[in-house]
Amino acid sequence: MDPQGLASLSNTVLYTAMGVLAFAMIAFALHTAKVTSARSAPPQDRTRELVGAGASARAGEATHGVEAGDAGDATGTTGATAGSSAVGGPQPGPGSPGARVGAWAMSLSWLATMLLLVSMVLRGLSVRRAPVSNMFEFAVAGSFVVLALYLALAQRRPLKWLGVFVVTPVLLVLGIAIRSWYTAASELVPSLQDAWLVIHVPVAILATAIFTLGFIVLLLQLAQARREQAIARGQRGRPRFLAGLPDSTSLDRTAYSLNILGFPLWTFTLIAGAIWGQKAWGTYWSWDPKEVWTFVIWTIYAAYLHARATSGWSLRTANIIAVVGYLAIIVNFTIVNYFFPGMHSYSGVSAP
C-alpha cells in the first residue's frame, strides 16, 4: 500500500478506536454510578441495606483501594488504614453492583488501546519513521501510553474507579488531535532526523502520560479530601460519586507514586533534549520557549516533591503545586506550540 493509503487507513483505525473508547467511557460511567449509588445511599436506607445484605455487609469504610466492581481481586486488600469512616458500604463480590459493566468497560478499553497501537504502527509505516514528531502524532501516542499505563496498572490492583476519569480526557484529546492538530503524513525537517527523536520524544511522552494519570488522581484526591472534611463536620459529602472512590490518603499515595516516577523521566527528557540540542543547534541550552517551559515544569514538580518534605506546607498545598505543574504541561503543549515561536516549532500546525 502506498504511504497515503496507509495514512488514511491509520486514521480510519483511529476513528474506530475513538468509537470503542466512547463505549468504554459510557460503561465506566455506568460502573461508577452503580458503585456510587450502592455506597452512598442515605443513612436510613443504608441501615436497611446492611441488614438485608446480612453477612456480606461490612461496617466501616470499604473504599480503601477496593472497589465494588472488582470481583476476584477485591478480597484481602481492604486497607488497615482507617480514614473517615462516615459511610459504610457493601462488601464487594461477584454479583456486586457494576461488576459486569465494569468488566465490559475494561475489555472495551483494551480493544481501544490495541486499535490505537495499530493506528500508530500504520502511521509509522506510512511515514517510515517513529510517529512522534508533530502535535497530532504526539497526542495520539500520548493517549495510547496513558491508556496502556492505566490498563497495566489496573492488572495489578483494582482501578476501575479511575476508568471514567482516564478515558474521558483521552477521548477529548484524541478528538481535538484529529480535528484541529491533524498533520498530513510527511517526512521530517532535517533537524528532527536523528536517533534522538526516538529517545527524547518517547520519554517525554511517557513522562507526560505518567504525570497525566498523577494529575487525574490528584484532582480526585483534592476533591475527596474536601468531601471527607465536610463529612467530618457532619455535612453531606459532595460530590456523591466520590463515595465510590478510595479515601484521600490512598489517592494521595497513588498520585505521589506516579509523580515520583514521572519526575526522573522528565529530568531525562530535559537532559536528552539538551544533548540533542547540542548536536543539532550547537548549544545544549538556548532558552527556547519549549526549553523554558520544560524547565519550569521540572521546577514546579521539584517544588512539589520538596513541599511534601517540608514541615509547614500542608499536603493540600503540595498537591496544588503538582496540579499547577500539570497545567504548565498543558500550556507547554498547546499555547507554547501555537503562540511562542522557537526552535521547537514542529507542531505541524500553523499559528492562527
When binding is defined by CB under 8 A, the residue of 152, 172, 275, 330 that contacts other proteins is 275
CA distance 337 to 330: 10
When binding is defined by CB under 8 A, the residue of 48, 56, 82, 239 that contacts other proteins is 82
Please report whether residue 136 would count as binding other proteins according to CB under 8 A: no
Please report whether residue 352 would count as binding other proteins according to CB under 8 A: no
In what helix (H) or strand (E) does residue 81 lie, and over which residues does it extend? none
Residue 182's CB is within 10 A of a number of other CB atoms, namely 17
**Residue 84 Cβ, how far from other proteins at the closest point, in Å?**
12
In the shown chain, the binding pattern of residues 12 to 51 toward other proteins, with x for contact by CB under 8 A and - for none, equals: ----------------------------------------
When binding is defined by CB under 8 A, the residue of 293, 319, 326, 337 that contacts other proteins is 293
Whose Cβ is closer to other proteins: residue 15's or residue 285's? Answer: 285
CA distance 148 to 116: 10
CA distance 318 to 128: 43
Please report whether residue 177 would count as binding other proteins according to CB under 8 A: no
Helix ranges (H only) for 233-247 are none
**Residue 316 Cβ, how far from other proteins at the closest point, in Å?**
11
Judged by CB under 8 A, the chain residues 187 through 216 that form the site for other proteins are 187-191, 193-194
Please report whether residue 78 would count as binding other proteins according to CB under 8 A: no
Q: Say if CB 348 and CB 135 are below 8 A apart.
A: yes
Please report whether residue 295 would count as binding other proteins according to CB under 8 A: yes
When binding is defined by CB under 8 A, the residue of 114, 121, 230, 274 that contacts other proteins is 274
Please report whether residue 285 would count as binding other proteins according to CB under 8 A: yes
Residues 6+ apart with CB under 8 A from 80: none
Whose Cβ is closer to other proteins: residue 235's or residue 299's? Answer: 299
Strand, helix or coil at 277? helix
Cell numbers at 266, concatenated: 522528565
Whose Cβ is closer to other proteins: residue 118's or residue 274's? Answer: 274
Judged by CB under 8 A, the chain residues 156 through 175 that form the site for other proteins are none
Q: Say if CB 111 and CB 22 are below 8 A apart.
A: no
CA distance 301 to 323: 9
Q: What is the DSSP letter of 91?
A: P
Whose Cβ is closer to other proteins: residue 2's or residue 43's? Answer: 2
Secondary structure (H, E, C), 134-195: CHHHHHHHHHHHHHHHHHHHHHHCCCHHHHHHHHHHHHHHHHHHHHHCCCCCCCCCHHHCCC
Size of the site for other proteins (CB under 8 A): 64
Please report whether residue 351 would count as binding other proteins according to CB under 8 A: no
Binding positions for other proteins, rule: CB under 8 A: 80-82, 183-191, 193-194, 249, 253, 256, 260, 263-264, 267-268, 271, 274-275, 278-289, 292-293, 295-296, 299-300, 302-303, 305-315, 321, 328, 336, 340, 342, 348-350
